[in-house]
Amino acid sequence: MSGKKSIGVAVLGLGNVGSEVVRIINESAADLEARIGAPLELRGVGVRRVSGDRGVPADLLTDDIDALVSRDDVDIVVEVMGPVEPARKAILSALEQGKSVVTANKALMAQSTGELAQAAENARVDLYFEAAVAGAIPVIRPLTQSLAGDSVVRVAGIVNGTTNYILSEMDSTGADYASALADASALGYAEADPTADVEGYDAAAKAAILASIAFHTRVTADDVYREGITKVSAEDFASARALGCTIKLLAICERISTDEGKQRVSARVYPALVPLTHPLAAVNGAFNAVVVEAEAAGRLMFYGQGAGGAPTASAVMGDLVMAARNRVQGGRGPRESKYAKLKIAPIGFIPTRYYVNMNVADRPGVLSAVAAEFSKREVSIAEVRQEGMVDDEGAPCGARIVVVTHQATDAALSETVEALADLDVVQTINSVLRMEGTDV
Amino acid sequence: MSGKKSIGVAVLGLGNVGSEVVRIINESAADLEARIGAPLELRGVGVRRVSGDRGVPADLLTDDIDALVSRDDVDIVVEVMGPVEPARKAILSALEQGKSVVTANKALMAQSTGELAQAAENARVDLYFEAAVAGAIPVIRPLTQSLAGDSVVRVAGIVNGTTNYILSEMDSTGADYASALADASALGYAEADPTADVEGYDAAAKAAILASIAFHTRVTADDVYREGITKVSAEDFASARALGCTIKLLAICERISTDEGKQRVSARVYPALVPLTHPLAAVNGAFNAVVVEAEAAGRLMFYGQGAGGAPTASAVMGDLVMAARNRVQGGRGPRESKYAKLKIAPIGFIPTRYYVNMNVADRPGVLSAVAAEFSKREVSIAEVRQEGMVDDEGAPCGARIVVVTHQATDAALSETVEALADLDVVQTINSVLRMEGTDV
């Protein structure tokens, strides 16, 4: 036991991440003390139910989170229990009592940053959340500190491991969505209810956090345009491959200028065709990667494990050591920066490219009719592929057309797709996806 | 002009980086003030000779660096003039006078960290040097902060853009070293005297900085084992390609255990065969990348532009904003952490793999004699390729043997190569390179 005043830590939650955090606090005690300048001491672990062997001395476990957070000898609260509630209440209480907080809770940070940041500001304590985005990969700290003197233009990332596993599987095996999802579930990469992942809610929360930090503007999950991956088909992957692309669920945060020169923020999550030559195309399985483009720095990429107990615990521990150092040495980490107060650009305003896959009648004039709908809205076509189709008996039964456009506003593109759907010669619109990362 | 007390900045050096730093301070003044909480004001720019139009108001230029650094209204000194002297003297003087310092000077930081860190500690000011390693890529901050609660096992990177440009060129065009170097010089990627780059001194300085931070141990450039790229041949690239590899100049920092369980640090720079499937194999041209492996985080990769005026200025500006925030809000960034005091492992102790390319007499028993030298030293062979050679007239003139070993200590491997060179049947040892990134 050191003679120095110790830093008391309460860990809320003892799942995959919490268990790893507790393990590292115990097993790396000497290193952590040397790095912090004082010993880190675990005062208690808050759990929903105190029961059985949880790998933690029984006297450290408690289901009274309020009491644990309020203990005088707790300096820092680590919240790794999710979901939004009761985490929000516990964190707010901790901050109001002058404790620093480290959290991995992306849904909470994407919803309640303002309230929590204000509480941290009032109490002049740290609120860190590196683990909320992309697990072990340092992203928050590089954006808030390393790029603090630069101007970020764009952040684009693969920030959800479950959907990236599913899409990588579909790409490499030709599997359809349902069977790739079943595989992911069997391997523990997808939860029993996969909605938050496959519908893009998890990625949207992370996009909101990234956009807030990158653009010094408060962005919540509700501000993020969102489409999931459930409609991506095996045929889309085949078409993508023919176009030299793969398909990834991207979280994109962008600073764009209106025609009047006003700055706006766009934050959006959707599956998109990505050229195989783009660095994000090679990010497969449960890995995450974030590409940051800044005016002076150019393009940076951060890559690593975006989820899992140990990687997430690594990010939590980094925050915990920093918060503890600040307790020992004085000073605080960066506060919330929201001075820019940029407005959110609606999705219709965003310049993007579309891939449209449709079945059409196979007769003269069809391609011309289809092309006319694009040109009417000043959408320029980059590439068209048409092939005849046959039915189960081998008889011709129309044609399939795949169109890839150049950049146009999302509004013009979606109007074009609506108009195509109304054309007599178009039988079905099979799929509409955006294309990203081509600079065209 | 804001009512808040401004933060005064002196920039030393007005080359590519200094000019960009000055430009950003001027053009982003409003953003920087919002992020810092006070305006940043350029008090002066120190140059060797005040002459001509340097793109800076003449009254800001001075060749009296001592006087500039000592001004009462200078709070932070940005040193981007290189080389070690007079930078060291100016930085030391600044720190002793209680000014925070931001530097991009890798040679200095790899040589004099101890002295400078102590001066910063005495004065309780910040000494930041993110730009000293890998330009715009955040590496120092992730290692000192994001991974502060984890245990780094290994840092391996491509941290020199000049040599990476040359090696990429040799790989993609089949050019030999001399012509690839000439190309790099013509394009401005190599300096008139390329020694610091091609002999690995620049990479060794960065390896020393990375090892110091990753392993909480003071490591200087002299502690780094170093080999340059001048002997890498076009034939080595052809052989590497046949083995599914390319060749990269790597800076490797590793924590290893002795047989007695003691922890040691290895820091080394050399050209090595890297499998094409390894993430560093795809880092081409003037780009840099650093792979960090930590116990909890697993493998992380950081990628971006490792040199150039704007990218380096991005890193400098991040440090400058952080140092300025600390002046406004109180507090300091992380201090030097050297508590672990690990000893340096000599190169002979390091487990590695060798690629050996030699010309031998083409007669029975030669391969057996060659293989015997490996087995005598318990070096296991992973792969052997032998092919007959013909002279200018097409007549047989011996054979070429390429051997790739499994892991053994560098000492055993280098002894084996010495013994091979002494064998009568071995005509010449054409090339010896290490192989990294294969986990075998």
| Per-residue pLDDT band at B211 (split at 50, 70, 90) | very high
* Chain A residues within an 8 Å CB radius of B298: 136, 304-305, 310-311
What CATH number does residue A67 fall under? 3.40.50.720
**Domain check: are A102 and A155 in the same one?**
no
pLDDT at A156: 97
**Boundary-marking domain end, from B296, B329, B362:** B329
Is the minimum CB–CB distance between A328 and chain B shorter than 8 Å?
no
Q: pLDDT tens digits for A87-136?
A: 999 999 999 999 999 999 999 999 998 999 999 999 999 999 999 999 99
Of A20, A149, A297, the CB nearest to B32: A149
pLDDT at A51: 78
Q: Which residue of B has its CA nearest to A307?
A: B297
**A304/B297 CB distance under 8 A:** yes
Q: Is residue A77 part of a domain?
A: yes
**B330/A325 CB distance under 8 A:** no
**Domain check: are B383 and B268 in the same one?**
no
What CATH number does residue A378 fall under? 3.30.70.260
Q: pLDDT tens digits for B38-70?
A: 999 999 999 988 877 778 888 999 999 999 999
**Domain check: are A277 and A325 in the same one?**
no
**Domain check: are A172 and A299 in the same one?**
yes
* Chain A residues within an 8 Å CB radius of B311: 296-298
| Per-residue pLDDT band at B406 (split at 50, 70, 90) | very high
Q: Is residue A405 part of a domain?
A: yes
Is the minimum CB–CB distance between B11 and chain A shorter than 8 Å?
no
**Domain check: are A14 and A149 in the same one?**
no
pLDDT at B1: 44
**Alpha-carbon distance B164 to B202, whole Å?**
12
Of B28, B136, B282, the CB nearest to A297: B136
Q: Is residue A335 part of a domain?
A: no
Q: Is residue B14 part of a domain?
A: yes
Q: What is the mean pLDDT of residues B84-109?
A: 96
**Boundary-marking domain end, from B305, B339, B370:** B305
pLDDT at A2: 46
Beta-bridge partners for B271: B249
| Per-residue pLDDT band at A1 (split at 50, 70, 90) | very low
Looking at the complex, report in whole angstroms how far the Cα of residue B34 sits from the nearest Cα belonging to chain A.
7
**Alpha-carbon distance A254 to A274, whole Å?**
17
Q: Which residue of A has its CA nearest to B213?
A: A35
Closest CA to A44 of A90, A11, A79: A11
Of B20, B136, B316, the CB nearest to A300: B136
- Residues of B designated as active site: 206
Q: Which residues touch A163 (CB under 8 Å, ≥6 apart)? A: A197, A198, A200, A203, A228, A229, A249
Token output for B331: 């507090």
| Per-residue pLDDT band at B224 (split at 50, 70, 90) | very high
| Per-residue pLDDT band at B407 (split at 50, 70, 90) | very high
pLDDT at B376: 96
**A138/B151 CB distance under 8 A:** no
Q: What is the mean pLDDT of residues A38-50?
A: 94
**A314/B294 CB distance under 8 A:** yes
**A300/B302 CB distance under 8 A:** yes
Among A residues 264-283, those touching chain B with beta carbons less than 8 Å apart? 279, 282
Contact criterion met (CB below 8 Å) for A389 and A400 = yes
**Domain check: are A322 and A372 in the same one?**
no
Among B residues 347-376, those touching chain A with beta carbons less than 8 Å apart? none
| Per-residue pLDDT band at B3 (split at 50, 70, 90) | low
Among A residues 201-260, those touching chain B with beta carbons less than 8 Å apart? 216
Q: Which residue of A has its CA nearest to B34?
A: A339
Q: Is residue B340 part of a domain?
A: no
**Domain check: are B319 and B286 in the same one?**
no
Q: Is residue B440 part of a domain?
A: no
Average pLDDT of chain B is: 94
Q: Is residue A440 part of a domain?
A: no
What CATH number does residue B234 fall under? 3.30.360.10
**Domain check: are B276 and B190 in the same one?**
yes
Per the annotation, the verdict on A341 as an active-site residue is no
| Per-residue pLDDT band at A3 (split at 50, 70, 90) | low
**Domain check: are B237 and B272 in the same one?**
yes
Give me the helix-helix angle, B16-27 and B29-36, nearest 10°: 80
Is the minimum CB–CB distance between B314 and chain A shorter than 8 Å?
yes
**Boundary-marking domain end, from A305, A339, A368:** A305
Q: What is the mean pLDDT of residues A68-72?
A: 97
Among A residues 287-306, those touching chain B with beta carbons less than 8 Å apart? 294-305
pLDDT at A140 over 90: yes
**Domain check: are A371 and A297 in the same one?**
no
Which of B139, B314, B316, B319 is the best substitution to test chain A (most A C-beta atoms within 10 A)?
B314
**Domain check: are A255 and A176 in the same one?**
yes
Residue range(s) defining the domain that contains residue B417:
348-435
Q: pLDDT tens digits for A325-377?
A: 999 988 888 889 999 999 999 999 999 999 999 999 988 889 999 999 999 99
**B318/A31 CB distance under 8 A:** no
pLDDT at B32 over 80: yes
pLDDT at B257: 92
| Per-residue pLDDT band at B2 (split at 50, 70, 90) | very low
**Domain check: are B63 and B90 in the same one?**
yes
Size of interface A-B (CB pairs under 8 A): 190
* Residue B46 known to bind ligand: no
**DSSP-derived 3-state class of residue B157:** strand
Place of tokens 């960065």: B206
Q: pLDDT tens digits for A313-323?
A: 999 999 999 99
By CB atoms closer than 10 A (0-12, 13-18, 19+), residue B29 is: middle
Q: Is residue A202 part of a domain?
A: yes
| Structural domains in chain B (count) | 3
**A296/B304 CB distance under 8 A:** no
Q: pLDDT tens digits for A238-272?
A: 999 999 999 999 999 999 998 899 999 999 999 99
* Residue A17 known to bind ligand: yes
**Alpha-carbon distance B241 to B223, whole Å?**
32
Among A residues 16-75, those touching chain B with beta carbons less than 8 Å apart? 20, 24, 28, 31-32, 34-35
Catalytic residue of the set A4, A99, A206, A341: A206
3-state secondary structure string across chain A = CCCCCCEEEEEECCCHHHHHHHHHHHHCHHHHHHHHCCCEEEEEEECCCCCCCCCCCHHHEECCHHHHHHCCCCCEEEECCCCHHHHHHHHHHHHHCCCEEEECCHHHHHHHHHHHHHHHHHHCCCEECHHHCCCCCCCHHHHHHHCCCCCEEEEEEECCHHHHHHHHHHHHHCCCHHHHHHHHHHCCCCCCCCHHHHCCHHHHHHHHHHHHHHHCCCCCHHHCEECCCCCCCHHHHHHHHHCCEEEEEEEEEEEEECCCCCEEEEEEEEEEEEECCCHHHHCCCCEEEEEEEECCCEEEEEEEECCCHHHHHHHHHHHHHHHHHHHHHCECCCCCCCCCCCEECCHHHCEEEEEEEEEECCCCCHHHHHHHHHHHCCCCEEEEEEEEEECCCCCEEEEEEEEEECCEEHHHHHHHHHHHHHCCCEEEEEEEEEECCCCC
pLDDT at A392: 83
